[in-house]
Chains A and B, each alone.
Chain A
């Protein structure tokens, strides 16, 4: 399949090559095409067509030596052709604003729309890098609704289909389709530029990107509804996005932190649910079946960022996850260290979720349940519809010997949205502590 162009390849090898190219090059191809025609819809269609054409043409002529370059040239040509054909029909929307970087008049002039633009043909590493990064920042722009940001990231950066994205967030396909269309229209109409933020804007803009990716990770970690408890495919997508972001934007502590969290979820795949598909709390999981090299890598990512002087909410949560996963036996986890990390998190980035997680960490350490229940009261209003809050309350009430109230709290937990595997575990009542 690596053979020179001209040698026909067998069907399965071509399918594999196209699938691999889709995984590795979708974002770069789409970004380069969008840069050429300044139209996300057109670029998206042309990119999809280029991949379809690859299936045919690579079977006939062999897989090209540089699939990414082949796809970029093909998609760009298709998009430019379509632009010429539809010139008079289309242009209902303003062009995508493609800042050519740094200049005070950024976005005005650009050589990227000419057919002879050599940057794309050469697929120079620097150019490709920039295009993908700016696409990611565009998708997660703070002027877009948060749910649109996640959908756009999955669609435009990872190349997931509307059906796949709808399935990930358990919304009907037409709803997701409409959401994506609305978001792309908003980008064009509001003049949201496709550009890499200036250094002074970077922290806030990076947080928006990480927030979007963390929603993907959260949906993969604990499915918000449906039959299954977890969605390893979505965890995998979050890891892919974060690996990409880390390559494109090295040295960011927050990226390290969220990537570490994602790797630690991925490393535990297969041990997070039992034979019946019911969730197994972290401390009860079989650590001998974890992917140790992934755990070590996550630990290293966190340590590296902390040593570099970085501090941030995603990094600290990564540090907490590492502190809980690195020891080879659950009983060797340093509960005090975990609580201290939560103290730090709460001091600098307070919020009801952090408060809840800190209380749960203290519960795992065996602190006085009555005291912890009082702590929970403080966030009861904010987290009234959040299942893990009621699960934690039920567990603390049980430990405190208040069985009836504990059962009532479990009923409250079941009333909150959650997946069927959790429902089953909660209904069963007995068993290992359901604290995550």
Chain B
């Protein structure tokens, strides 16, 4: 069965600071994750800490920050176990981040 990683992107500087709003958004993600587990399509996934917490390593040494500077950063990911790209898209399309100002990237995993 092909596997896909769904990367969730969001503009780092536009995350809401409203506590209630944030809680509501996170609740949507919880529900979505539970749905995927119930459907048996998601094998693993996790939110990621703010990208300011990232440490990058290049040949020259450690860098305090992300490997690539970008306005929109990966804020979480899911690994999907589905028959094909259509099925992966159908699952990824329901990701709540799509109506929270972000987007997702569906990328096949090899072997």
Where the two chains meet, the residues of A that have a C-beta atom closer than 8 Å to any C-beta of B are 94, 97, 99, 105-108, 143, 189-193, 195, 197, 201
Contacts and interface: CB of A to CB of B under 8 A. Distances in A.
Given A97-B84, A143-B85, A190 B108 contact: yes
Nearest to A104: B83
Given A191-B84, A201-B86, 20 more contacts: A97-B85, A99-B83, A105-B83, A107-B83, A107-B84, A108-B1, A108-B83, A143-B85, A143-B89, A189-B108, A190-B85, A190-B108, A191-B2, A191-B4, A192-B84, A192-B85, A193-B83, A193-B86, A195-B86, A197-B86
A197 B90 CA distance: 12
A338 to B, nearest CB: 38
B79 to A, nearest CB: 14
Interface of B: 1-2, 4, 83-86, 88-89, 108
A94 B2 contact: yes
Nearest to A96: B84
A201 B85 CA distance: 14
B89 A97 contact: no
A105 B88 CA distance: 14
A102 to B, nearest CB: 12
A97 B87 CA distance: 12
Contacts of A189: 108
A419 to B, nearest CB: 38
Nearest to B111: A94
Contact of B85 (A105, A106, A193, A197): A193
Contacts of A193: 83-86
A107 B108 CA distance: 16
A205 to B, nearest CB: 9
B18 to A, nearest CB: 34
Nearest to A197: B86
A124 B89 CA distance: 33
25 contacts: A97-B2, A97-B83, A99-B83, A106-B83, A107-B84, A108-B1, A108-B83, A143-B85, A143-B89, A189-B108, A190-B85, A190-B108, A191-B4, A191-B84, A191-B88, A191-B108, A192-B85, A192-B86, A193-B83, A193-B84, A193-B85, A193-B86, A195-B84, A195-B86, A197-B86
A143 B108 CA distance: 13
Contacts of B85: 97, 143, 190-193
A105 B83 CA distance: 7
B91 to A, nearest CB: 13
Contacts of A105: 83
A57 to B, nearest CB: 37
B11 to A, nearest CB: 24
Contacts of B86: 192-193, 195, 197, 201
Contacts of B4: 191
Contacts of A99: 83-84
B14 to A, nearest CB: 27
A340 to B, nearest CB: 37
Contacts of A143: 85, 89
Q: Which 8 A-B pairs have the closest CB atoms?
A: A193-B84, A107-B83, A97-B84, A191-B85, A191-B2, A191-B84, A192-B85, A190-B85
